[in-house]
Structure 1
Amino acid sequence: MFLALLVPAGQVLAQAVTAPPPVATVPQSIVDQERPVIDSLKKQTADFANTLNKAATNDEALVNLRISLEDTAKKLLGAGLAFRPRLAEINARLEQLGPAPAKDQPAEPEIVTDERNKLTTEKAQINAMIGETEDTSLTANQMIERIGEMRRNLFTRTLSQRVDINYALGSEVAGAAGAEAQTLGRVVSSWWRFVLFFKFKPFLAAAFLALCAALVLRFGARRFLGRFFLSRDVTVEAPSYLSRLSAAFWSTLIPTAAAAVFLGTTYYLLDYFNVLRPDIAAMLSSLFTVILIVYFIHRLAKAVLCADMPNWRLVRIASRPARVLTFLITATALINGLDYFLNTVNQILVSPLSLTVAKSLLATVLGGLLIIAIAWVKPFEDEETGAAKPWPKALRLFLICLGLFPIVAALLGYIGLARFASQQIVVNGAFLVTMYLGFLTARAITDEHAFGGTSIGRAMQQRFGTSEASLDQLGLVAGILINIAVLLVGIPLILLQLGFQWSELQTWFLRLLTGFQIGSFSISFTGIFTGLLLFVAGYFLTRWFQNWLDGSVMARGRVDSGVRNSIRTVIGYVGLALAALVGISAAGVNLSNLALIAGGLSLGIGFGLQNIVQNFVSGLILLVERPIKVGDWVEAGGVGGIVKKISVRATEVETFQRQSIIVPNSSLINANVANWTYRNKLGRVDIPVGAAYGSDPRKVHAALLEIGRSHPQVLKNPEPFVAFKAFGASSLDFELRVFLADISNGANVQNDLRFQIMEKFAAEGIEIPFPQTDIHLRMEHIEAIAEALADRNGEESDEKTKTVKVGTKTNVTGTRN
């Protein structure tokens, strides 16, 4: 057995002796780790520099290049910062090692010299790499600034470039237009044949799925929102302004969104199934954009002017001018849209410059004339005569100037400026009008009792019994949300029309959400929203835990109500404090920065917040030490009543007259407080009683003791006690003292005992006296009083003694000397 154990042990020992020693792994240095990253970023920067000149004429390519350069510059900065911890370690170690000894000093150990040399070499390598990252980052930032300058120059050239217009080339332009139409027909027909023979099923699937998505949005929105926003009841003679605004806003937004879903889904699916060629994809994207914008402007004009329903019209104009204005606005949008689409076609088909100029000139002139026609419409009617009235003079002049500007610019040869102005007038004008409707809707819905008058408000009131105050608060929240939604949708659309690229807006939006710097502070809306969400979640979790602990745990354990209130209050404050700390941390606020705020608060506490802090600390003492608790009967500072609530600043005491008195907590801690129910509700009631002189005091004592013992709420132990307290001025003073299990019933018991005392004394013939005084007057005084009375009443009196009642009961006796 022993040998069997020795054999494996010997084998293990032999393997340990013959096995080669483990190879020590040398950790990779920070220079070796970051070298591939920095080399890759340097190569990317060099590639961007080669691409920059090629993208000089394409604004979208310049924007994408700038975004890539900003990302590269950010990575370079991160790579440079990665060396800082190691560099700090090297500097600290070199400082510990000290400088190399001079020649006349003793030599240091070789291991110290080797370590210093290694650290110095590594430090030099790190500094060299930091220099490379800084040089590359500087190059990237210079290219970013150059891209911004190139974009500004490109935009300026587009607007300020002048084209010589030759009005004698009409026949040549007509021929070029015909040739281009034939070329466009051949391109589209060849693509269509390709679709029919090779991609017809994917084409039908894409169209069908896109149509289903649009129908789901359109009819789903009408199903759920139509009853509240989209329906216009012709029987309503005078709908409210909010109802008209809501109907106009949503009847524009929902159909346009459905159309956008249909067109966008169609384009995405056709591209996904490889149905589109590059040239067809560009033309189809432009065509879909034009269709969507024209449809949106038509719906907006129809919703605002509402030619068929005068009662729901936002602008009080006549019906016939409303139809004319709807047509003119739609036609203006259509002409500008065709110009945009044909410009895309000209770029794809490489059309002659004369054709492009002629097309843009015709479109801008027609668009300007339509705007001038809108200015000359007479939309209003005189209420008395019914005659047509024009727009206000200022508005009419403004519309005429808007229409003349692109016409004049185009005729002078500034085609780019004219096209840009026409596009902004039509498209951004429609966006601004829609945003204005959204703002008006938000302002109208926040008015008092406005939300309660809507269909949603009435439905909530009928179904959930929501109060008017709650509906007003919901209206305020709805107004804020509408304003935010209008800004989030409207501002990007306007910026896109002004020349900004979608990728650029995405970068700004992500930067706005993820964080941006203002001085030394970093602000992140995502962090702020996360912090608020966590705080709200912590708040509701605290409230739920309070209710569960109070109702399910302490109530079943028969815990005293005062203890329950103290525990509930402390948990509430602790939970809110933790939720606030978590929310502040999630919002990106460094808690160490709150030291300055704490210092300022301490300074303020030292001067002006002493009472508040004193009450706060006193409240914590009341909750922890519990000298008083909810439900106690206390008397302090001339205030007596039942404690209803203890908070950290003050305590609510309800008097027996149902008056709530707010007592600062410091008054309950620093002053004397009488607590009738501190340990228990056992208490003594004292009833003072007086008996007339001449009564048998033992009989009175026995009667009072019998009364005290006979009452059902008076305790037998301690038993009632009757004290013969004093010989009063008018009575023999006794006091009945009884003990009650619940002192809060003392008023009722005292009332019953007093009734029984009256009845018992009356039955026993014991008189309860009232104060009396005997006054003795001399005879001549009485005679003078009698003569005065006789003269007043016209009568003589021979009485020798007069009795006059003075005070409560005063006997006046006169004697003749």
Structure 2
Amino acid sequence: MFSRHNSLTLPTVARTLLLVLAMAFCAVGVHPTAAVAQSTQQNSAPNYDEWRSFAERAERLIDLQFTSDEVLTDIRAELVGFRSRFLSAQDANAGRIATVREQISALGPPPEDGATEAEEVAARRAELNEQLTQLQAPGIAAQEAFRRADGLIRQIDLITRERQAEALLTLWPSPLNPVNWVAAADSIWGTAFTLGTQVSGALEDPGHLREFRSNLPIVGVMILIAAFVLLRGRGWIERLVGRLLDEGADRKSKRLLAQIMSLTQILVPVAAVAALSTALVLTSLTGEIGADLATALVQAGIGYFTARWAGRQLFPVHESKRAPLQLPAPRRREGRLMANLAGLFIGLNVILGTLFDPTRQSDAANAVIAFPLMVLAGVVLFRLGALLSMHWRLLTADIAEMRFFDRIIGVLGKLAMAIGIGAPVIAAVGYVQAAQALLYPSIVSLGLITVLVFVTQVVDDLYDSLTGRSPDDPDALLPALIGFGVVLVSLPVFAMIWGVRGTQLLEVWQLLREGFRLGDTRISPTNILSFLIVFSIGFLATRMVQGALGSTVLPKTKIDKGGQKAIISGTGYFGIMMAALIAISTAGIDLSGLALVAGALSVGIGFGLQNIVSNFISGLILLIERPVAEGDWIEVGSTMGTVRSISVRSTIIETFDRTDVIVPNSDLISGTVTNWTRHNSLGRIIIPVGVAYGSDTRKVARILKEIGDAEPLALIDPEPQVHFVDFGGDSLDFELRLVLSDVGFGLSVRTELRHQIAERFKEEGIEIPFAQRDIWLRNPEALRGEAPSPEPSEPRDPRDAHARTKMRYDEISDGDSGDGDGDGGR
């Protein structure tokens, strides 16, 4: 209130909002006046003589230690104007400079030392170089002047920040010292006496009395309307909004209407207060201080009714799951009371700041007058922080994983409690300005956070109403992005609440507008915005063309599905590449200066991204040659399945286990791939069959042929074939070979044919053998308990019948194997 450099009033927030809107207009370039001014600056060359004279005068004033803040602010405004003109002049003759450089390049490289070139070429080269020097001169001069102006602006900002910090750290007399109370009482009495004198003087002035009588009817009407709205209308609006919220708890449209209607809880009472303030001014009896007080009354009303509305948003009357804070009813009632008191104290701070100008009073009087209100505001802030912390504690006990918003609420609660206690303490010591810079911005910041929560809820409800999203559906991306954008836009408002001057924010915006340079090209937010807009348009146009091709054009052609997919994908890649090139060209970004950097990075990229590049090129080959298409049944290494999608980096194969296997495209190009259904679905299956020795082989072949001919999916040409392939170790081996019209049914056909073969063989008495093995024992007498025979002096012939004993496994199993050493199983 009483800090000259950090006074917090509600017009500060209003100016911040206007500043944000102004920056938005500058960003998109829609303000006609700004556009005309910018065009004028670009078309008119700066007056460098005037600039040098002003810069020298500004440097002398800046070097003076006692130059006032008002003078520095005026100088800074002039410097900002000069700097903007110099920034625009830096790109003077840019098109002509580029043309002359291309002409010089067309002449070829200059001759080396000792070499000569044609006289005509040398003369032309010298002429073009002279033109280039002359064309570059205005830009170079503008750059030099821009740097000088920018340096002076930074110097002024540094002085202002130092003075601001010095003011915050200034130690005033302690407000707890009774000696200082006398100065405060004198200040209060002097202000009251001055106000009374001004009012009594107006009453004695016949001109003021005539004006009062003429305005009396309208003054009376405005006072009656304002009183009625403040006493009755405000309560009616609050009850109406509460009823809409209760009835429309499950109806999105009513809930959205109630949220929008809740803003009338601010607008209508503030309008009544404005009418009351206007009525007081129209009486012509208030005097100078009274007129200022009437204006401050509107500002105080904005603060109070906004805080009251914010309290009802954070601490609703009725319990709701959508409420930002989940608290029991007694705590919500306390929260609404604390919010009302916070708004009241902010309003009183504005009124006291208007009545008692800190520049016209002693530091002792300022400290004593500000301290009681700061203590009350500190208590309110402490209680609000305690309620925020309670919300965090209750959720911690009930929910294992908390939202980011709830964690932020917990941190804010602790900070509010600390500031609520610390600010009055340091104010009692004497650092009143520092305490004010902590206390009141904290309260206003909580209000702004409530506004952000309200806006995000409105966006969610509006999105739900338009899309019909149910509460059980997951959170959508678009409302989250909009909410994130709202938070970004609010950052300048937070900055100004905490003492950042508007000129400092404009300085940040100027730096963004200035951008940075890549070679001879300056990249600014305007270039980036142009690039994004043009690229977005090109991207959307590409998607539209792809959609038209996929739904209208290509289905009417004879191109197969895989070819259609390849054309659509290629169109997408080509369209995105062209959109990027057009966007770069439209934004005026010259990438020729990055050629050397790109060449240096290409080596590292070649080694680090060689696999990615290889897969990308392989993907393009797959899309162009189409050896594999979507829907094909392929086998790559040990992976077999159906191709589900082909991208530029990898191919997704859906196996018969319904799992997706991601295969790099380079494996499909460099490795061996079996495509079972590339050109058609025909495919051959082979069913091996074994029968026992002694079976009638021709009868077996006839039965298998009959079974194959009866299969409905088997082709007639070529017809099923039966082959007697080998004399196996345990069986006579046959193969039934069939060519199916759809090899995708190969597994089911194999299963059915095996069932039929087993049934027919059983009917015909044909045996399907199982594997048999003969076991040869070196010492069979050990199984009978006999002494082992002596080892022969020389190896025996294993074919000698007297040197071995042949026994079938079943005979051994029936014999005595009581030794249990497991040798009989070998």
Q: Which letter does structure 2 place at the counterpart of 1:341?
A: T
Q: Distance in 2 between matches of 1:760 and 1:678?
A: 36
Q: Distance in 1 between matches of 2:754 and 2:764?
A: 15
Q: Does 1:432 align with 2:410?
A: no
Q: CA deviation at 1:300?
A: 5.8
Structure 1 residue aligned with 2:487: 483
Distance 1:687 1:649, change over 3 A: same
C-alpha deviations, 1:430-470, integer Å up to 9, x for none?
3233356678999xx9xxxxx99x995997799424655x3
Structure 2 residue aligned with 1:70: 80
Q: Distance in 1 between matches of 2:319 and 2:698?
A: 101
Q: Distance in 1 between matches of 2:290 and 2:605?
A: 73
Q: Distance in 2 between matches of 1:124 and 1:804?
A: 110
Distance 1:464 1:197, change over 3 A: closer
Q: Distance in 2 between matches of 1:588 and 1:219?
A: 54
Structure 1 residue aligned with 2:422: 398
| Contact persistence 2:42–2:88 (CA under 8 A) | no
Q: Does 1:645 align with 2:645?
A: yes
Distance 1:318 1:517, change over 3 A: same
Q: Distance in 2 between matches of 1:392 and 1:78?
A: 46
| Contact persistence 1:513–1:526 (CA under 8 A) | no
Q: Does 1:82 align with 2:106?
A: no
For residue 464 of structure 1, give the secondary structure of its aligned residue in structure 2: coil
For residue 630 of structure 1, give the secondary structure of its aligned residue in structure 2: coil
| Contact persistence 1:402–1:425 (CA under 8 A) | no
Q: Which letter does structure 2 place at the counterpart of 1:464?
A: R
Higher mean C-alpha deviation, range 683-692 or range 512-521: 512-521
List runs of 5+ in structure 1 lacking aligned partners: 1-32, 97-107, 232-242, 272-276, 347-352, 384-390, 410-417, 446-450, 789-801, 813-817
Q: Distance in 2 between matches of 1:265 and 1:431?
A: 25
| Contact persistence 1:634–1:642 (CA under 8 A) | yes
Q: Distance in 2 between matches of 1:127 and 1:463?
A: 60
Q: CA deviation at 1:633?
A: 1.7
Structure 2 residue aligned with 1:516: 515
| Contact persistence 2:183–2:364 (CA under 8 A) | no
Q: CA deviation at 1:540?
A: 5.4
Q: Does 1:181 align with 2:199?
A: yes
For residue 644 of structure 1, give the secondary structure of its aligned residue in structure 2: strand
Distance 1:155 1:679, change over 3 A: closer
Q: CA deviation at 1:714?
A: 1.2
After TM superposition, the structure 1 = structure 2 runs for residues 416-427 of structure 1, keeping only pairs within 5 Å, are 424=437, 427=440
Q: Distance in 2 between matches of 1:117 and 1:191?
A: 84
Q: Distance in 1 between matches of 2:572 and 2:496?
A: 44
Q: CA deviation at 1:645?
A: 2.2
C-alpha deviations, 1:395-428, integer Å up to 9, x for none?
67624335436xx68xxxxxxxx7x668646643
| Contact persistence 1:252–1:300 (CA under 8 A) | no
C-alpha deviations, 1:60-100, integer Å up to 9, x for none?
6754553343232442465576378579969x99xx9xxxx
Distance 1:227 1:394, change over 3 A: closer
C-alpha deviations, 1:187-232, integer Å up to 9, x for none?
998599399689989x99xx99xx9xxx99x98999799749999x
C-alpha deviations, 1:718-741, integer Å up to 9, x for none?
222222323334444332222122
After TM superposition, the structure 1 = structure 2 runs for residues 326-345 of structure 1, keeping only pairs within 5 Å, are 329=342, 332-342=345-355
Distance 1:770 1:436, change over 3 A: closer
Higher RCO, 1 vs 2 (CA within 8 Å, ≥6 residues apart): 2
Q: Does 1:371 align with 2:384?
A: no
Higher mean C-alpha deviation, range 181-190 or range 547-556: 181-190
Q: Distance in 2 between matches of 1:604 and 1:758?
A: 65
Q: CA deviation at 1:168?
A: 11
Q: Distance in 1 between matches of 2:56 and 2:766?
A: 120
Q: Which letter does structure 2 place at the counterpart of 1:366?
A: I
| Contact persistence 1:306–1:313 (CA under 8 A) | no
C-alpha deviations, 1:16-47, integer Å up to 9, x for none?
xxxxxxxxxxxxxxxxx999945756558868
Distance 1:184 1:124, change over 3 A: farther
Q: Distance in 1 between matches of 2:277 and 2:155?
A: 35
Q: Distance in 1 between matches of 2:550 and 2:423?
A: 69
After TM superposition, the structure 1 = structure 2 runs for residues 676-755 of structure 1, keeping only pairs within 5 Å, are 676-755=676-755
Q: CA deviation at 1:372?
A: 3.6
Q: Distance in 2 between matches of 1:473 and 1:712?
A: 53
Q: Distance in 2 between matches of 1:39 and 1:332?
A: 51
Distance 1:296 1:676, change over 3 A: closer
For residue 366 of structure 1, give the secondary structure of its aligned residue in structure 2: helix
Q: CA deviation at 1:761?
A: 3.9
Q: Distance in 1 between matches of 2:364 and 2:592?
A: 64
Distance 1:742 1:522, change over 3 A: same
Q: Distance in 2 between matches of 1:124 and 1:586?
A: 27
Q: Distance in 2 between matches of 1:558 and 1:776?
A: 69
Of 489, 496, 507, the residue aligned with 1:492 is 496
For residue 651 of structure 1, give the secondary structure of its aligned residue in structure 2: strand
After TM superposition, the structure 1 = structure 2 runs for residues 30-49 of structure 1, keeping only pairs within 5 Å, are 37-38=44-45, 42=49
Structure 2 residue aligned with 1:464: 469
Q: CA deviation at 1:289?
A: 3.5
| Contact persistence 1:290–1:340 (CA under 8 A) | no
Q: CA deviation at 1:530?
A: 5.8
| Contact persistence 2:273–2:297 (CA under 8 A) | no
Distance 1:596 1:148, change over 3 A: same
Structure 2 residue aligned with 1:806: 809
Q: CA deviation at 1:679?
A: 1.9
Q: Which letter does structure 2 place at the counterpart of 1:689?
A: V
For residue 634 of structure 2, give the secondary structure of its aligned residue in structure 1: strand
Q: CA deviation at 1:608?
A: 3.9
Distance 1:190 1:588, change over 3 A: farther
Q: CA deviation at 1:769?
A: 4.1
Higher mean C-alpha deviation, range 532-541 or range 135-144: 135-144
Q: Which letter does structure 2 place at the counterpart of 1:400?
A: P
C-alpha deviations, 1:531-587, integer Å up to 9, x for none?
556656655554554444333333444642322333343344444545566677778
Q: Distance in 2 between matches of 1:45 and 1:279?
A: 44
After TM superposition, the structure 1 = structure 2 runs for residues 14-413 of structure 1, keeping only pairs within 5 Å, are 37-38=44-45, 42=49, 63=73, 66-76=76-86, 78-79=88-89, 82=92, 176-182=194-200, 190=208, 193=211, 227=245, 255-256=265-266, 288-296=298-306, 329=342, 332-342=345-355, 356-357=360-361, 365-372=368-375, 398-404=422-428
Distance 1:731 1:474, change over 3 A: same
For residue 754 of structure 2, give the secondary structure of its aligned residue in structure 1: helix
| Contact persistence 2:42–2:85 (CA under 8 A) | no
Aligned residues: 674
Distance 1:198 1:393, change over 3 A: closer
Structure 2 residue aligned with 1:100: none
Q: Distance in 2 between matches of 1:488 and 1:441?
A: 19
Q: Which letter does structure 2 place at the counterpart of 1:71?
A: G
C-alpha deviations, 1:486-530, integer Å up to 9, x for none?
4243223444xx6x35xx367346436634349989665565566
Distance 1:161 1:52, change over 3 A: farther
Q: CA deviation at 1:362?
A: 5.8
RMSD: 6.9
| Contact persistence 2:646–2:652 (CA under 8 A) | yes
Q: Distance in 2 between matches of 1:650 and 1:484?
A: 38
For residue 717 of structure 1, give the secondary structure of its aligned residue in structure 2: coil
List runs of 5+ in structure 2 lacking aligned partners: 1-39, 108-118, 174-179, 250-254, 282-286, 391-414, 787-804, 816-826
Q: Which letter does structure 2 place at the counterpart of 1:721?
A: Q
